[in-house]
Amino acid sequence: MKLGLCGRTVLVTGATGGIGEAIARAFDEEGARVAVAYRGNREAAEKLAADLGDAFAVHYDLEDPDSPAAAVAAVHERWGSLDVLVANAVRWGERRTPGTGFEDVPEQDWLPVVGGNLAPVIRTVQHAVRGMRERGWGRIALISSHNALGGNKGQEFYGSAKAGLHGLARSLMWDVGGDGVLVNVVSPGLTMTDRVRDGLPEPVKARELANTPTGRLSDPSEVARAVVFLCSEANGNVTGAELTVAGGR
């Protein structure tokens, strides 16, 4: 199967994280040109870009309203166009303290999680989609979370923000589908990144494995391959879809 990504330009936000890096590397393996977007770890982003073929590091901050426009403009300045956007950057929120009810969480604690995981993605898509429309081809992958579908106690606000990405894709597809732009959502479950491997308590890992039909957590590369397919020419007419990579969860 030919993916048709050789020479395509790709912006991956949150590219220095475990899943983001895997996505960037997977596009590079297909011959795409990759903009590695980072928030704070410039050194890691530049190192990753140096490991890839045609790539560069670009700053992207979910908390800066001007950052989405600047990141998209940087890709256009370097390569003349942006063909693929992978919105992977995330603003993590703390779980509710045990014994604290949903109604007890103050707005100043939950509003940054909801706003920080949804509004910046909408801004970035707005800036990216204009050029895609003009050229009559584009692919957008919004990285959500299994929590948006199955839920998770204590993560109501994060789950709400990620669920908003599904609504965005389902509505946006009506506006851009006729212009050759496909927009989809990929929802990873708990994924075996370095952060999970080294930081997740063993009892939690064991519980997750017991509740996963395949009996194992996904590797970041497996999430990346799903993203690459949806953002390729091999995907000719899948849009507004949600693909869960969670071993059957």
Residues with a catalytic annotation lie at 145, 158, 162
- Evaluate whether 41 touches 112 at the Cβ level (below 8 Å): no
Compute the distance between CA of residue 62 and CA of residue 185 in angstroms, rounded to an integer: 19
Whole-angstrom distance, CA of residue 34 vs CA of residue 219: 21
H/E/C letters for each residue in the chain?
A: CCCCCCCCEEEECCCCCHHHHHHHHHHHHCCCEEEEEECCCHHHHHHHHHHCCCEEEEECCCCCCCHHHHHHHHHHHHHCCCCEEEECCCCCCCCCCCCCCHHHCCHHHHHHHHHHHHHHHHHHHHHHHHHHHHHCCEEEEEECCCHHHHCCCCCHHHHHHHHHHHHHHHHHHHHHHHHCEEEEEEEECCECCHHHHHHCCHHHHHHHHHCCCCCCCECHHHHHHHHHHHCCCCCCCCCCCEEEECCCC
Q: How far apart are CA 143 and CA 185, in angstroms?
A: 6
